[in-house]
Amino acid sequence: MPLNRRKFLGTSAATGVGVAVTGAAVAPSTASASVAHGSGKPARRTRRYSFTVLGTTDLHGNVFNWDYFTDKEFDDKDHNDVGLAKISTLVNRVRKEKGRRNTLLIDAGDTIQGTQLSYYYAKVDPITARRGPVHPMAQAMNAIGYDAAALGNHEFNYGIPVLRKFEEQCDFPLLGANALDAKTQRPAFPPYFMKRLRTPHGRDVKVAVLGLTNPGIAIWDKANVQGKMTFPGLEEQAAKWVPRLRSMGADVVVVSAHSGSSGTSSYGDQLPYVENAAGLVAEQVPGIDAILVGHAHTEIPEYFVENKKTGKKVVLSEPLKWGQRLTLFDFDLVWSKGRWTVEKVGAKVLNSNTVEEDRKVTRLLADEHKKVVAYVNQVIGTSTAAMSTAEGPVKDVAIIDLINLVQRETVAEALKGGAYAALPVLSQASCFSRTAQIPAGEVTIRDAAGLYPFENTLEARLLTGAQVKEYLEFSARYYVRTPAGGPVDPAKLTNADGIPDYNYDAVSGLTYEIDIAKPVGSRIVNVRFEGRELDPKAEFVLAVNNYRASGGGNFPHIAKAKQLWANSEEIRNTIIGWVKAKGTVDPGQFASVDWKLTRDGMPVF
């Protein structure tokens, strides 16, 4: 009797049992024979089999090679392309070369958030509505033929109901061995996927894919998961499940991990788990052959980690992000002592900018694409001047002031008439994109949304002046220490120690200088509020996004600060609503230079 996938997935979510699928085609292999020494008889033939696991990660809602924020074909300085339509072409080529039945296609998470295409079908025309649409990412991934996908942290951004509906629409399982039901502590999603690959030797190869997600979900999406799910560490759960998979007869174990390889964390001591733990999993847990890495948005074609207990080399690969790369894990197996053994495994990545989009995918979702393009091009107001984030990482620019203005006004209005109404409101904002801009003249939804590509919501937290200064000091780690007197290259001033742009906050509502000639921890000088030196004991309200308020970036004090107010509306929509209400955006009414970079007291710019 055929397996009913949807019924089985419902059972597996409760029992923690993975999915089993049987392949049905003869695979390419080699069989060598030699003459036994002195006998003249051929020696036993060596049975061999090869197959390939293909992997993507951090697709973030990209189907088309299109930038909805610029309303044109995607391009960057490295001329990368994006989207599942490109990935589909690469996958088809590999399947044609290897034989489709000798390949598996998996993903390492962060699938349903990131573009206006994915936003539209979560919020504007939601998949959760009665008789709602099928999510474009589900449609595309089903058409391409994914076998399994790990859960990413951004899968939880729109709430569990949206995620569950997406899961229902997928023809493949969403895996999360360390996404546990808060009450039962049993897997809330299938932990693994198992597939048999048929070989020409009458001995199937059993391939297990273990899915692991990021513990940071407990912080970053606390509002959506608290009391519903828990997310223990990757190493702990891998150590639990890998031996089980081996005992179930898995000849090959692949881990799909939404976790970078660096061993670092952005949430400090708020969780006892490591955020970027893929390398630690390879190092600490025996029995793993390969790990598809995600979350970090970096390109790792092939990276070997030695397991401390066995000495075995485990291969890791991360195919960048957004469908810009496709990982290939090539496995060579040999039949020995009654079982298949991995003789060799290597990895490489293919670049999606080398191929055309698969017309099957673009035709399938042409209507959805047109709807979203029309949506983002709706005019919502006008601007008296052009504004850009190009210099936002090194200068106080008007476009970041606009974000802070909207946030401060929103929080002040929300607190009006309450116990904290008299406190001054400060605001934090990051330069999420160095290419966002508001043009002079008509302003569209995509212009406003481009300032805030994430689905963050707004909160108000209570801080003292001393805590605000420490917050600023932590943020200022972002700058490379640069001695006074010498030339300055703006391109080399930022992202010290790999700190991303979204983990540098500019704070509005007071004035200050960042002396980049000084060491980290003593860079914030001349901090003033309303022209007077900042009082360390004074109380302030900080308008802050929920990612930061929940501990994202590990900024000091904020996660434990008293919450005065919180909103469920995305900041992006708050900005859009503000522009609609005002009708006209005039930087002359709100832009000011409240912070600047200095060296020994002298301005850098």
pLDDT in tens, 536-575: 999 999 999 999 998 899 999 999 999 999 887 889 989 9
Q: In b/e form, how buried is each residue of 472-505, taking b as 16+ CB within 10 angstroms?
A: bbbbbbbbeebeeeeeeeeeebbbbeebebbbbb
Confidence of residue 42 (pLDDT cuts 50, 70, 90): low
Q: Is 106 helix (H, G, I), strand (E, B) or coil?
A: strand
Cα–Cα distances in angstroms (integers) from residue 388 to residues 391, 435, 580, in the given order: 8, 7, 20
pLDDT tens digits for 282-303? 999 999 999 999 999 999 999 9
Q: In b/e form, how buried is each residue of 259-270, taking b as 16+ CB within 10 angstroms?
A: bbbbeebbbeeb
Q: Poorest-confidence range of 170-184, 246-260, 445-459? A: 445-459
Confidence of residue 328 (pLDDT cuts 50, 70, 90): very high
Are the C-beta atoms of 20 and 195 separated by less than 8 Å?
A: yes
For the chain, the distance separating the N- and C-terminal CA atoms, rounded to the nearest angstrom, is 73
Task: Name the percent of the chain lying above pLDDT 90.
Answer: 85
Query: Cα(373)–Cα(444) distance, rounded to whole angstroms?
Result: 11
**What pLDDT score was predicted for residue 44?**
63
Q: Poorest-confidence range of 188-192, 447-451, 460-464, 495-499? A: 447-451
**What pLDDT score was predicted for residue 40?**
54
Q: Poorest-confidence range of 21-30, 31-40, 451-460? A: 21-30
Task: Name the percent of the chain lying above pLDDT 70.
Answer: 93
**What pLDDT score was predicted for residue 325?**
98
Confidence of residue 119 (pLDDT cuts 50, 70, 90): very high
Query: Cα(394)–Cα(472) distance, rounded to whole angstroms?
Result: 15
**What pLDDT score was predicted for residue 18?**
45
**What pLDDT score was predicted for residue 16?**
41
Q: Give yes or no for residue 93 having a pLDDT over 80.
A: yes
Confidence of residue 9 (pLDDT cuts 50, 70, 90): very low
